[in-house]
Each structure stands twice: as structure tokens, then as C-alpha cells.
Amino acid sequence: MERDTYTKTWMDEFKQPGQPMIIAGPCSAETPEQVMSIAKQLPKQVSVFRAGIWKPRTRPGGFEGVGAIGLKWLQEVKRETGLKIAVEIATVQHVELALQHDIDVLWIGARTTVNPFAVQEIADCLKGTDKIVLIKNPVNPDLGLWLGGVERLINAGISQIGVVHRGFSTYEKTKYRNVPEWQIAIDLKTQLPNIPIFCDPSHITGDRNRILEVSQQALDLNYDGLMIETHNDPDKAWSDAAQQVTPQQLGHILAALKVRNQTDETEEFLSQINRHRLQLDEMDTKILNILGKRMQIADQIGALKKTKNVAVFQQQRWIAVLEKMLQEGEQRGLTKEFITAVYAAIHQESIQRQDKIINK
């Protein structure tokens, strides 16, 4: 796959140079009056109007979208406002209807991305079209699935592609509706540097009061655009009420965002950042040396357990280690999430090495 031949140039007509592309609109299209009212109130920075027509629900009984009739409402929005329009598609039938109604931007949702068969069918259906296709990250943190979805679109000859980072599901209680797992998005950007990446802070936060914070984080990480759910009366929205903002609130959010420079070419900045990076490089080498020595001790423990026929996993020891590290980490200004992730990885590596030794 020729990844480096795909560029961000398709975005040029949607945004000002140096500014993020903004996609906004309600989680769900509810009535023709509702979508038109929202579209006409959106800030001028918004270039694409989004609205859910088909709404996949975890369990039946909830509002599952107005269906194909909503596409006609969006056509009217396009005629009245000049905004491009975007909808989520999950099946070949959705694609065919969207093409018939000349929808400009199609996005594949997180629940669909997890199914390679569905993504392939959508990609095949879109062959030969010039549509813009965005693909959201899968529900669970799986970089391979996300990359695979992009690759299926590229292999189908679709050149106007973007990805949308909307966070990942977790059983743990966190401040997010869907934890961002920023590193996964960074890894995707590293492998696909020429494909635009959008952030969906609405689904990451699940809370309109935190949209600005997460949007700024995304821009600080050099994201190309934002997709923000916007409703004229969010508290009465038929779906995802808590995470939607009003058009006026969206305007305040966009005005407050700070777009960072790619770099600073002044001698002072380059000198200081290079010095800091050298310090980090030295520390990273020391960390790896320490981790290597730690794993050597884990190997010795594994050999001792083998001699005494002792189980590899010792639950009470693991709980004690994690609690101790969380306390010490807090004293050093490190977050609980960071310490837990680091020591879970260290512990998992130790377990794997000891298990290999015991079962030789």
C-alpha cells in the first residue's frame, strides 16, 4: 500500500491555512426544522454540517435515527446554507442512499470499524466515487483494526480519506466517556503522516463542559480538525444530550482555542529544546538499563519458583507493589493512570518471562 501518496490537500477547500477544519451538527437529525435551525446558527468556522441519520444502539428500544428521510433534510440544509453535509454510514444500503442524495462526507463509526467484513463491503461500494470518507477508531483500543480500515479504503481507490479519534471504551471508571489513549492516535499519525486526523471531543468526554479542554489537547498534538456535536437545545436532544453544545457555545469554544505553531526556528528555541531532548535521551537510556536489570531479577525469581513449584502470579504481591508505586508516584506528581499503565506493562513482561522459564 502506497501510504505516502495520500495527502491532506482535499481539506484545503474546507478551512483557512493554519486553522483546523471544523465539522459540527447534532448527534441525531430529529426534525427538518431542528437541523435547519442548527445549521443556520453555526459559527462561520464550520465548513461541514454533520447529523446522525442511522444511530446504532447497544440495545434495542432507544432512538435509532430517523432513517433515509433525514437525507432530504440535509440536502435542504446544503441548499440553504452552502455547507457541505456529512452522515455516518454502517452498511452498503446506507452508502447507496448517501450517494443517491449526494452526501459530501461519509464517516464510518466506531462500531463498524471493528468489523473488517463491513468495512470491506463499504469500501467496495465506494469504489470509483470521489467521496470524502472518514473512519473513526474502533470501540476498543486496537491500532491494527483502525489501520486496517484505512488500508481497505485506500486499496479500494478512495483518495480523500481522514481518520477520527473518538476515544476508546473501558470498564474502568474515568473522567472520560471514552478514554482518549492519545498514544494510539499518535502511533496512527506516525504510520499515516499524510492522512488528516480529526478529534471528536464530544464522544471522548461525554460532557459538554470538557469539550474545550480536549479540543485544545488535540490541537496541541497537531490534529487537523475537530468534529463537535452541536444542538440548538442540547438538554432536550433525542440522543447524547450531555455531550452536545449550542451553536453559541461552539462559537466560544472555537474562539478560545489556540492553534500552535509547527515549530519555532529561532536560535534560542532550538538551542533550548535540543538541550532538553538530549537530557530526555540520556534518561531514556538509563530507564532501559534499569528495566533490563529489573527483568534479570524477575528471571531469577522465575527460576526460584520453578525449583519450588510455585505459581507465577502472586496476587497479594502485585497489589502491594502497585499500591506502593501509586503512593510514590503521587508524591512525584505522576497521575494514577500513568503509574497504573506503566506498572501493568512491567508486571505483564515479568509474568511472561517467568512463565517461559517455568515451562522450559
pLDDT of residue 207: 97
Low-confidence ranges of the chain (pLDDT < 70): 1-7
C-alpha cell at 264: 519555532
Residues paired with residue 355 on neighbouring β-strands, in sequence order? none
One-letter amino acid at 97 equals: L
CB-CB neighbours of 320 under 10 Å: 11
pLDDT for res 6 = 63
CB-CB contact of 218 with 207 (8 Å): no
What is the distance between the alpha carbons of residues 143 and 190, in angstroms, rounded to a whole number? 12
Among all chains, which residue has been given the C-alpha cell 433515509?
68
| Predicted local confidence at residue 172, as pLDDT | 78
Separation between Cα atoms, residue 64 and residue 55, nearest integer Å? 4
Question: Can you give the pLDDT at residue 185?
Answer: 96
- Report long-range pairs for 334-342 (Cβ below 8 Å, ≥24 apart): 337/174
Q: In angstroms, rounded to a whole number, what is the distance separating the alpha carbons of residues 76 and 137?
A: 30
The pLDDT value recorded for residue 292 is 97
Looking up cell 461500494, which residue turns up?
125
The vertex-151 CA angle with 148 and 153, nearest 5°, equals: 115
pLDDT digits (tens, 9 = 90+) for 65-123: 899 999 999 999 999 999 999 999 999 999 999 999 999 999 999 999 999 999 999 99
Contact assessment for residue 85 and residue 79, using Cβ atoms and an 8 Å cutoff: no
Show the cell assigned to 148. 486496517
Give the list of residues 6+ apart from residue 154 with CB closer than 8 angstroms, or none.
Answer: 1, 2, 3, 6, 161
How far, in Å, CA of 246 to CA of 229, rounded?
9
Give kind and range of the element (H or E) at residue 303: helix 267-308
How does DSSP assign 135-190, residue by residue?
EEPPSSS-HHHHHHHHHHHHHTT--SEEEEE--B--SS--SSSSB--HHHHHHHHH
